[in-house]
Amino acid sequence: MKIQRKSMMLLGIAAACVLIVSLILYFGDRSNPAGLRGHEAAENASGRPLVQIGSLYITEADLARYKEHMQFTSETPADDTTLVKELAIDQLMLHLADEQGLTATREEGIREAERMRKTLQEQPAEVQAQHAAFIDELKVSEEAYWEDYAAPFYQKQLSKANLVSALVAKQKEDGRDVIATGHALRKKLLEAALKDGTVKVLDPDMQW
């Protein structure tokens, strides 16, 4: 029983780490995100653009922030090309969800954040302390974290979940023998986006 409790605690800490990494990545430049700027402005403010998804650019600064905080979630960090590809797929899914009218609402993000906050309060003290330490790293109050950081993050997560549900349903309607989910689905989305030009790799050193 003690071993099971310890495992649950470690899983809870890992989940908290993943959340914080994602929040820092998405909100690292909250005052003027690169996704709302043109190519030149993005380069001046956030480093050289590496990949373009629609009007959004993933830059060297985004990659650097992601790598800096990967230490919390991975003992063996992936290479730059793999990391950028992961970021590109996440942003592509948000882009496609928006195009298809599947973006979750702000209110849905708030409700999900409130649900997760209650879930966190039910976790062992060690997990709650670890999560509190991550909030301290962001240098914001707990209330600001849940309202300004967690709610938008969960809004994005729900948007991606909506997209996946719609794509899986479409595959079933089409009578597919093999339903692509998880990693396979993400790979298919990226391949299609590269082919139709939705995603453009701007760094010549990155071979996908």
Confidence (pLDDT) at 7: 52
The answer to whether residue 103 scores a pLDDT higher than 90 is yes
117 band by pLDDT with thresholds 50, 70 and 90: very high
36 band by pLDDT with thresholds 50, 70 and 90: very low
Q: What percent of the chain has pLDDT over 70?
A: 74
Rounded CA-CA distance 64/77 in Å is: 12
The answer to whether residue 65 scores a pLDDT higher than 80 is yes
27 band by pLDDT with thresholds 50, 70 and 90: very low
Confidence (pLDDT) at 34: 41
pTM above 0.85, yes or no: no
Q: Give the chain's length.
A: 208
Beta-ladder partners of 49: 59
Q: Given strand 49-53, what is the order of strands in its sheet?
A: 56-59, 49-53, 199-201
pLDDT in tens, 124-163: 898 888 888 888 887 889 999 999 989 999 999 999 999 9
Buried b (16+ CB within 10 A) or exposed e, 103-124: bbeeebbbbbbeebeeebeebe
